[in-house]
A and B are shown apart, each in its own frame.
Chain A
Amino acid sequence: MRPDVKALLARLGQRDFQYRQFADPIADVEPWPMFAALLEDDRVVGRAETVDNRQHAVKSSNFLGEYSDTTSVNAPVERQGGSLRAFLSGLSDDGGERR
């Protein structure tokens, strides 16, 4: 339990209050175009053809396979939810709430 919550509950006299932190499940993470743009940026993730040779925290094997060659930063902004989903599916089931 967060220390500020614990202190507040103590002041309210609710010491046995059941408290749980809720994280966004991965399925609810919105496909922000910024995230997709970063995943396509060689300066951040390197070149796609070499990604298989990298030791990388993301385990998804579909990580870059869903990006077509026509993907371009000048193209109209499209939601790339499918590709981002594949990327995020490499996370563990705890929803990334590790701190």
Chain B
Amino acid sequence: MPLILCHSPVGGVGTTFLTAHLALGLASRGYDVTAIDFTHADALKLFFGMLPTQEIPAMTDAASEGIVVDGVELLSGHAAAQSGSFGRLLAQHATSPFDDDRIVIADVASADLALKTSLLSHAALHLCALAPQPTSLAALAKVQPGTPTIDLEQTVFVLNQLDDTRKLSRHSQIFLRALFGEKLIATVRRDEAVNEALASFQPVARYAKQSVVLSDLATLTAAIETRCGFVSREDRAQ
């Protein structure tokens, strides 16, 4: 079961942004995608043009009608994770409890290490967002305590918010490329249009068609497809 776990050891690097756009990108490629927001911040829905006051169904609420936006089913996992029942469910299943036909992308808060650890054993891939900032770079030591970061086989890295006009930002990209090689699967440039789109309750693709992040995100989606061995429905039909 393709669970993609999105978690970074430090907050504010764009994990939720990447979760949302990876889900949108895969859905646009014809995959059945579910995005689960496990965070207290409840911000994943904003990237789909939803209002802060709109609620998304809890993943444990079988009776609730699902919300699907641009081909992505949106669920909230925060309550289930906090109750402990979800963790116990994960521990009981040797195989993944998620639906086999869908790609599930989980947005997990940086502070929620217990949930991250629980989900990691069920994940096809762990996507770790980084930012070209000292606090994010220093947190490379915290990605998975007990294992050197460069040895993590399940983890890939995405450098987010790269600012080509800033020296440290450019140098951080070069450094991370040297450190991780092909495990640095994508770089997404900083564009204020992302925040402006959020403030307008619009997806970036609609608000700013020329935004540089869109091509960067397409590269990310393609990299994930390749790395996970996903085959889209139309490719399977051929």
A88 CB, min distance to chain B CBs, angstroms: 5
Main DSSP-derived SS at the A contact region:
loop
A57 touches B141 (CB 8 A): no
Main DSSP-derived SS at the B contact region:
helix
B177 touches A56 (CB 8 A): no
CB neighbours (8 Å) of A4 from chain B are 210-212
B148 touches A30 (CB 8 A): no
Q: How large is the interface on A (under 10, 10 to 19, 20 to 34, 35 or more residues)?
A: 20 to 34
A34 touches B178 (CB 8 A): no
- B180-212 at interface with A (beta carbon < 8 Å): 180-183, 186-187, 210-212
B140 touches A38 (CB 8 A): yes
B141 touches A44 (CB 8 A): yes
Q: Does A96 contact B (CB under 8 A)?
A: yes
Per the bound structure, the CA–CA distance linking A2 and B164 in Å amounts to: 12
CB neighbours (8 Å) of A34 from chain B are 134, 137-138
Q: Does B110 contact A (CB under 8 A)?
A: no
Q: Does A43 contact B (CB under 8 A)?
A: yes
- Cβ contact of B216, chosen from A45, A58, A87, A99, cutoff 8 A: A99
Binding site for A on B (CB under 8 A): 134, 137-138, 140-142, 145, 148-151, 167-168, 170-171, 173-175, 177-183, 186-187, 210-212, 214-216, 219
What are 5 inter-chain pairs, A to B, with CB distance below 8 A? A3-B211, A26-B174, A38-B141, A87-B178, A96-B173
